[in-house]
Structure 1
Amino acid sequence: MLVSNRIDTVEKCFESFRPLLEQIPSEFIAVDTVGDEKSDGSVDVARKYADKIVHFEWCDDFAAARNAGLKEARGKWLIYLDDDEWFDDAGPLIDFFSKPELYENYDRISMMEHSYTSASQIDYVSNKFSRISAIVPGSEFVDPVHEMLKGIVYRNEYDLKETFVHHVGYIGKLSHKKAKRNQQIMNKELEKNPGNLHLWLQQIAGAGDDEKEMLKVSEKAISTLKSRELDDWNITDWIEIFLYRMRGYARLKMWSDLDVNVDVFLEHVKNPFFRGVAVKFELSRDLNEIGIEKASKWIHIYFDAVEYCEKNNRNSEEISYFFGRDISKDTMYDAVEMYFNLCSKESQDAYEEIKKMILDVPWHIFDEKRSNVLASSLKYAINEEDNATVEFLSENFVTDGILSDEFVKQLDRIDIGIESDTAQEKFDQMIEMIDAKSDSLWIKQHARKEVSDDELKNSLCDGITFKYPNEDLIRICVENRHSPQRYVENVSFEDVSKSVSAIVTKESMHLDGIPGFASRIESVWESTVQRNYLLANLRKRYIFQESMALSKVMDESEKYCQNMLEYANNIYLPELCDSASELLPSEVRFAILFGKALKLKKDNHLKECLTYLQEALEVFKYSESLIKRIIQSIELEQRKRVAVNNEMARLGNQVKSQIVALISQGQNEVAAGLLNELKQITPEDPDLATLEKLCQS
C-alpha cells in the first residue's frame, strides 16, 4: 500500500484489513512515498501495522512506487490499496482466502468501490475495484499514473458482492488538485512515449464532462497514433480512443462527422459490445433525422451488444470501464419504444415495420422497461387483429408451460385503457385465441362471460385471489351474481388497493355505468371492509367528476359517505369516527363531515350544512370542485327562496290593501274570503289576526 500524508484516513484503512492479516497467512508491505521528515504522522501509524516499510523517493511515478513494494512481496496474491481507501468488511475476503477451491481456481477478485463526491460521504459514484490479483514471476506495474499490473493472463474473475471499498480521494478541492497532477504526469510521459495508447485513453477520460476538450484530445491522440501506425483495431485501447471521439461528435451534435466515423468503426470492429456503443451514439439523436431503415439497423446492432453481455454472463462495465454504461437493457427497450413512435409518424405501413421489430426483440432479456415495450407491442398487434404476433409474444413469456404474470399484466394495461365497446369486443376476441395455461389469463378471457359458481371453482387453482392482475374476478362474480368475498380474503391491503385502483380506472372509461355497477356489487356482496373500500373508491371517482349532473352526484354522494363510514368503522375505533377525529386519514374525516352536511341539507338546515361543507373542504382539498358545486347550488336555492318570499310578501301586501278597502266598503264577507286565501300564501304574516278581527266586526 502506498502511504502519503492522509493521517485522517490511514488508520481506518489499516484497521479495515487487519482481520485479514490476523486470520490469513499474509504480509503487509507499506511503501512510504513522503519520508519521515515530510510525513504528517501516517508513516508512524503504518509502522504499527506493517510487516515491512519500503522507503521510496517520490518521482511522479505510481507504477515505480508500487513496483518497489511488489519486489518485496513473497505471496501468491496481491492486494494493492491507497491510504484513502478501506474495505467496508474484510469478512468476505477472509472467507475467499479460506477456501482453496476459490483462491486456487480464480486469479482476480472484483468488487464495487464507492468513490465519494462529498465530505458527508453520502453521495458517491460506483466503480469497479479489481485490485486483488494472483501474481506470477515477472508481474509488474506499468505507466506512471493510472498504473496497470502487467504480466498476468486472467482466466477467472471472482465477483465479490458481499463487501465494497470506500474511497475518499477525490472529494472537493482534492479532485481538481489530483486531476491536474495526473494530467501533468501523463503529458510528461506522452512527450517521451507518444505511442502509449493506455495513457492517451486516460488523458481523454480525464477531460470529464468537457466535451470540447475530450474531442480535442481524442483527435490529437488518433492523429498521433495513426502517424506511428499504431491504429490497430485489435487493441481495445485504440477502439476506446476512437469511441471517445465519436462520443464527442455525438455530444456536440456533429452528426455528419459521427456518421462517417461510425461507418469506419463498424467496418473494422467485429466485437458486438463495442459496435453497440458506436450505434448508441447514433441513437442519441432524434430518430426522425435517421429514418426508419437506419434506425432499425442501429437498434439491431444494439440488440447484439446486449445479447453479447447476456450470453457471456458479463456486466457491461466489466467489459469496458469507460463505455460500460452505454450498453444497458433499459436503453435497448427505450430505443424500441422510440422506433415504434418513429414508425407511427413516418410510415404508411407503420405496423409492418413495427411487426418486424417485434419479431426481432430479444424478449428473453429481462428489464423493468421490457413491460412497456410488451404492452405497446400487444396493443399494436391487437389493433391490427394480428393473432399470429399476439401468439408469438405469448410464447416468449411462457415458462414451464405457464404464461407469466408480466404478460397478463400488460394485457390488463391495454384492457384498462379501452374506451369503446367495439374496441373491447376486438380485444376479447384476440385474447380468446391465446393458448396458454394461466389462471390470470382465464380470468381475463372470462371477464365478460357468463360463468357459474361451479365453473369458477373448477377452473381456478385453490387460493386464487383478486390480487392484480386478477381484479376482473370481481366483475365475473358480480355480473354472474356470486359473492366475491372468498377471492378478497387474506389479501394484503396494499394488494387490495392496487386491484381496486385497476377496477376504478377501468370503470372510469364508462362513468355513467358506475352507479349501476356499484348497486349490483351491493346486491350480491355482503358488507365487508374490502367491499366498502371498493364502493367508496368507485363512487368517489363518479362524484368528483365535474361532467356528472349534480342531481346524480348528490344521490351517489350519500352512498359514498355511507361506504366510507362503514369501511372506517371496520378499521378504526368507533369513537374516532363519531367525532371525525384528526387522528383519522383526511379522506375518512372528509366523508364523515360531508355525510353530516348532506343530512343537514336534506333536513333543510342550510346554514349548518354550509358550515360542515366548508370544514370538509378544509380537511380534503381534493374535494374543492365538488364542494364548490354543492355550495353554489345551495346559495342559488337560498336566493330563489328569498326571491319567492319577497314576491309572496309583495303579493300579500296587495291583498291586505284590498281586504282593508273591502272592509271599509262594508263588504266584510268578501273580505273574509280573500283573507282565507291570504292565509294560504303567507301563513306567518303577523297582520292576519288583526285583519280577521276587522272582518268579524
Structure 2
Amino acid sequence: MKAKQTGILLTIGMIVKNEEQYLPRCLEALRPLREALPCELIITDTGSTDRTLEIAAQYADEVRHFQWCDDYAAARNTTLEDISGEWYMYLDADEIFDPDISGVVDFFKGPLCKKFQAAALRFINYDSQNKPAGSFYPTRIIKRAPGLHFEGAVHEHLVSDVKDGYALQTVVRHYGYMGELARVKMLRYRPMMLAELEKNPDDPRMLRQLVDGYDPHYPEEAAERKRLLERLIAICLADKTVNQRPFAFLSLVRTQWTQSDFEGVLDTIRWYFKEKLIKGDSAADIDMYAMRGFALFNLKQFAPALDALDEYRRLYRAFYERKLDLSDMGTVGLHGINDEYLMRSLYVSTQCCLALNDKERAKTYIGQVDISSLAAAYPDLPFLADEFGYMRASGDFARMGALCTQIMAVDGESVRLRFFQLVEKEFPVFDGQKLEAARALAAVKGEHKFLTLHRMRAALADGDSSQAAELAQALLVKQDAGADPYFADVLYCVMLCGQPLAPALDVFGAALEETLNVLAGQRPDFDTAVCAAFGREPFPQSGAPGELFRRTRVMLLALLRGTGAEQARRDQLADLYTREIISFCEQVYNLAALPEQERFILPAEHRFALGMREVNAVLGQGDAAACLQKLQALLDSCPTMHRLIKRRLDSIARQIQEKSEAVNEFERLAMSVKQQFYGFLKAGRRDACAEVLKAYAAVNPDDPEIDVMRRDFEQSFR
C-alpha cells in the first residue's frame, strides 16, 4: 500500500486489461491535465497479457492488480481505495481527452467546484468507420464523500448522494465501441447482464444496459431490443423517479429508424413529448426533432419536415448557448449536437425545398453548410453527393465555385484531389451541366492542376483555341496530366486545336488506354475530334512500333465507339488505321514463323491486321470473290472488330455488285447495238451498218459475234 499523498486535488482511476492499442494515447492525452492540476493516476490491471502493464508503469503513480471475478464494479472500486484526491474521476483506456482541457481546469480553479459536487464530460462515441456516432454527458468527476462506490457487475455505475452536477464542454472521444470490437463486447456482456436481470427483472438500470447489448441492425435482435425498451418505458411511466425515460424513448426511436419504420418513429416521438417530465426545452428534444424531420422527409412530407428541422437547429443553437435543461443528458447519448448532424439537417432541408420547388429557400439552407469543417472531419467527402444533387436539381452551379474555394482552404492535398476527382465521376459526360461546373471552377482563384484543366475546358467552350492550347501544353509540359485519366480532356483539346498529337500521347504513357476510354465516354464527339486530328496531321507511311501503337489506340477507339463523325471521314480514318496496324504487326511479329493456324493466340486486333494484310494481297490480284471469303472468315474469328471488317466486306461486296451491274448494263447495250445493226442490214442501209459495226468493234473487240456480224455484212452488200 502506497503512502497517502497530500495536496492532491484529483485522483484519476482506471481499470485495464490488454489495452495496448489505446492506452498510450489515453495516458498521453491526460498529461496536460496532470500538469495543470495536482493529480494522481491509479491504474488497476485485471490480468493483461500484452504490453499494458509496461505502458501503465510509464505513466501511473501506482499500478494495482486485481484478480478478475466477472465483476466490473469490484475492479473499479480498487481505484477508490486508499487514494489522496479530494475529487475522483474515472476513465477507460479507449477514452481519449481532446487537447483542450481548459474546461476541467477552469472548473477546479474557479468557483464552480465549490458550487457543484460533480461534473459531466462531453463524450463522443465513434462508429465502425471511425466517425462520430453520438454525444452524451456522463458524470465522470465527483467530489469524494463517505459511501462513494461502484455497483454493477456489468456496466458498473457510481453510487453517490450527489445530485447537483455541472456539464463541462471538455470533449472525451470514445473509440472502444467501434465495429467488430463493439459486437464482441455486446456478446461478451450479454450473459452476465441476463444473469443480473434474472435477480431483479424490473431493474431499470440493468434493462437499459441489456438494451445496449442488442444490435438493432440484426432483425431478430431489433425485435428483442424493442421489447426491452417498451418494458423500460412502462417502468419509467409508472415511477417518475426512474431517470431512464429520455434514453428509453430515444433508443426506441433509433431502433425503429434502423428498421426503416418511419411511421413508428413519428408515433414514438409523439409519445415522448406527451410523457416528457421536463417542462421546457431539454437536451433529448434535440435528437427528437431531428429524427422527426428525417422521418417526415423519408415519408415525403416535405413541409412538416422543414418545420421539424428548423426546430432542431433552434435547439442545437440553444444547447451551445447553454439555454437548455441538460438534466437528461447523463442518461442519453445525443447525435444531434455533433456538427456533421447539423450539416446533414441542412442538406435534408435543401432537398425538401427543392421538392417543394422553392429554390431560393434551398439556396439559403445549403449556404449554411460549413464545408471546411465537414471536409476536415470526412476527408473522403461523402457529403458531396448532396451537393451535386442540389446543383443538378437547382441549376445553381455557382455553388460549385464556392464549394471549391472552401475545399482549397482545407489542409491536405489528398482532400483537394478527392474533391476534383469526385467532380469528374459525378459529371462523367461533358454536357451542359459539366460545362457550367467547369466554368464555375475555372473562376476559382488559386493554382492547381485541376483548376488549370477547367480553365482549359472553359476556354475551349468559349472558342478561345489559343488560350485552351496554351493551358493544355502547360499541363503536358509539367506532366501534370501524365498517368492520370482524369486529364483525358487534354488530349481532346490537343486534337481540336490542331496541336501535335504524338507528344501528348507520349505523356500519358501506360495510362493511355484508360485515358482514351474516359475521353470516349466523356465527349460525345470524340470520334469527330479524332478524325479531325488524323485528317489534319501528315502522318508518315510508317513509324516506330511505339508510335504506331499509340496512334492506332486512338483511331481504333474512335472507330469502334464513335458515331458522330461523317461517314467519309470515318472511312478515311479506317483506311489509315488499317494501314498502320498492319505496319505495326509487320514490325513486331516474325510473320514467316507465325502460320495462320497459330494466330488464335494473338489479340483480336492483331489477327485482324494480319487478315487484312492477306485480303489486300488477294485484292491486288483482282480476286474479289476470294476477298469476300477471307473477310467472312475474319469476321468469324475477330467478332470484336466487326465494325471494321463489315465495312471492308460491304465495300468489296459493293464493288462486285457494281461490276456485275456494269456487265449486265454493257450486255444490254451490246444487244441493242446488234439489233440496230441488223435493222440497218435488213433495210439495206450499207453506210449505217458499216458505222455501227466499226464503233462496236472498237469498244468490245473480244465479242465473238463480231466475226458473224462482219460475215453477214459482206454477204448482204457484195
TM-score by structure 2 length? 0.56
Cα deviation 1:655-689 (Å, max 9, x = unaligned): 44554566677767644543455567767655455
Cα deviation 1:445-504 (Å, max 9, x = unaligned): 2453425999988899855344434444445655666546666657552x3334333433
CA contact (8 A) 1:109 1:159 kept: yes
Cα separation, 1, equivalents of 2:690 and 2:429: 71
Corresponding residue SS for 2:405? helix
- Cα drift, residue 434 of structure 1: 1.6
Cα separation, 1, equivalents of 2:668 and 2:289: 89
Equivalent in the alignment of 2:444: 434
Q: Which amino acid aligns with 1:77?
A: D
Equivalent in the alignment of 1:649: 667
Corresponding residue SS for 2:218? coil
- Cα drift, residue 350 of structure 1: 1.9
Cα separation, 2, equivalents of 1:76 and 1:681: 116
Equivalent in the alignment of 1:357: 366
Cα separation, 2, equivalents of 1:574 and 1:410: 47
Cα separation, 1, equivalents of 2:290 and 2:489: 44
- Cα drift, residue 404 of structure 1: 2.7
Cα deviation 1:205-257 (Å, max 9, x = unaligned): 58931576765554344224422336635875664245324545x33754652
Equivalent in the alignment of 1:556: 573
CA gap 1:267/1:100 in 2 versus in 1, 3 angstroms: same
Cα separation, 2, equivalents of 1:410 and 1:641: 57
Cα separation, 2, equivalents of 1:338 and 1:155: 29
Match 1:536 to one of 526, 529, 553 = 553
Corresponding residue SS for 2:240? coil
Q: Which amino acid aligns with 2:50?
A: I
For 1:126-275, what aligned pairs fall within 5 Å after superposition?
142=152, 148=155, 188=198, 191=201, 193=203, 196-198=206-208, 201=211, 205=215, 208-210=218-220, 215=226, 218-229=229-240, 232=243, 239-247=250-258, 250-251=260-261, 253-254=263-264, 256-257=266-267, 260=270, 268-270=282-284
Cα separation, 2, equivalents of 1:476 and 1:636: 37
CA contact (8 A) 2:604 2:641 kept: no
Corresponding residue SS for 1:108? coil
Equivalent in the alignment of 1:508: 524
Cα separation, 2, equivalents of 1:160 and 1:268: 26
CA contact (8 A) 2:608 2:638 kept: yes
For 1:547-586, what aligned pairs fall within 5 Å after superposition?
550-562=567-579, 564=581, 581-586=599-604
Match 1:674 to one of 673, 678, 692 = 692
Equivalent in the alignment of 2:121: none
Q: Which amino acid aligns with 1:585?
A: P
Q: Which amino acid aligns with 1:434?
A: V
CA gap 1:97/1:622 in 2 versus in 1, 3 angstroms: farther
Corresponding residue SS for 1:508? coil
Cα separation, 1, equivalents of 2:375 and 2:595: 55
Equivalent in the alignment of 2:133: none
Q: Which amino acid aligns with 1:78?
A: T
Between the two proteins, the alignment pairs up a number of residues equal to 556
Equivalent in the alignment of 2:429: 417
Match 2:306 to one of 293, 300, 308 = 293
Q: Does 1:94 align with 2:50?
A: yes
Equivalent in the alignment of 1:450: 466
Corresponding residue SS for 1:196? helix
Cα separation, 2, equivalents of 1:255 and 1:302: 19
- Cα drift, residue 515 of structure 1: 1.5
- Cα drift, residue 435 of structure 1: 0.9
The percentage of aligned residue pairs carrying the same residue is: 10
Q: Does 1:395 align with 2:380?
A: no
CA contact (8 A) 1:394 1:434 kept: yes
CA contact (8 A) 1:576 1:583 kept: no
Cα separation, 2, equivalents of 1:516 and 1:431: 28
Cα deviation 1:146-189 (Å, max 9, x = unaligned): x556679x98878799x99899999xxxx9xx999999979856
Corresponding residue SS for 1:450? helix
CA gap 1:212/1:551 in 2 versus in 1, 3 angstroms: same
Cα deviation 1:244-303 (Å, max 9, x = unaligned): 24545x33754652663687899644597x669836962772546567735865997999
CA gap 1:556/1:150 in 2 versus in 1, 3 angstroms: same
Equivalent in the alignment of 1:113: none
Match 1:282 to one of 295, 315, 326 = 295
Corresponding residue SS for 2:230? helix
Match 1:108 to one of 93, 108, 111 = 93
Match 1:405 to one of 386, 407, 417 = 417
Cα separation, 2, equivalents of 1:303 and 1:603: 87
Equivalent in the alignment of 2:115: none
Q: Does 1:367 align with 2:377?
A: no
The gaps in structure 2 that reach 5 residues or longer are: 1-16, 21-42, 62-90, 96-127, 131-147, 160-170, 321-331
Cα deviation 1:329-357 (Å, max 9, x = unaligned): 8x99999887766554531x426514631
Cα separation, 2, equivalents of 1:595 and 1:373: 55
Cα separation, 2, equivalents of 1:296 and 1:585: 60
- Cα drift, residue 540 of structure 1: 2.9
Corresponding residue SS for 2:50? helix
Cα deviation 1:114-137 (Å, max 9, x = unaligned): xxxxxxxxxxxx899xxxxxxxxx
CA root-mean-square deviation? 6.3
Cα separation, 1, equivalents of 2:177 and 2:204: 37
Cα separation, 1, equivalents of 2:388 and 2:403: 14
CA contact (8 A) 2:628 2:653 kept: no
CA contact (8 A) 1:649 1:682 kept: no
Cα separation, 2, equivalents of 1:238 and 1:692: 117
CA gap 1:429/1:185 in 2 versus in 1, 3 angstroms: closer
CA gap 1:614/1:428 in 2 versus in 1, 3 angstroms: same
Cα deviation 1:361-417 (Å, max 9, x = unaligned): 534332253454555567789x5574x862453233235698933444456568863
Q: Which of structures 1 and 2 has the bigger CA Rg?
A: 2
CA gap 1:459/1:169 in 2 versus in 1, 3 angstroms: closer
- Cα drift, residue 693 of structure 1: 5.4
CA gap 1:569/1:656 in 2 versus in 1, 3 angstroms: closer
CA contact (8 A) 1:478 1:520 kept: no
- Cα drift, residue 507 of structure 1: 3.7
Q: Does 1:464 align with 2:480?
A: yes
Corresponding residue SS for 1:222? helix
CA gap 1:581/1:629 in 2 versus in 1, 3 angstroms: closer
Cα separation, 1, equivalents of 2:497 and 2:351: 41
Corresponding residue SS for 1:396? helix
Corresponding residue SS for 2:515? helix
Q: Which amino acid aligns with 1:674?
A: V
CA gap 1:160/1:216 in 2 versus in 1, 3 angstroms: closer
CA contact (8 A) 1:662 1:668 kept: yes
CA gap 1:511/1:328 in 2 versus in 1, 3 angstroms: farther
The gaps in structure 1 that reach 5 residues or longer are: 1-16, 21-74, 81-92, 111-125, 129-137, 308-318
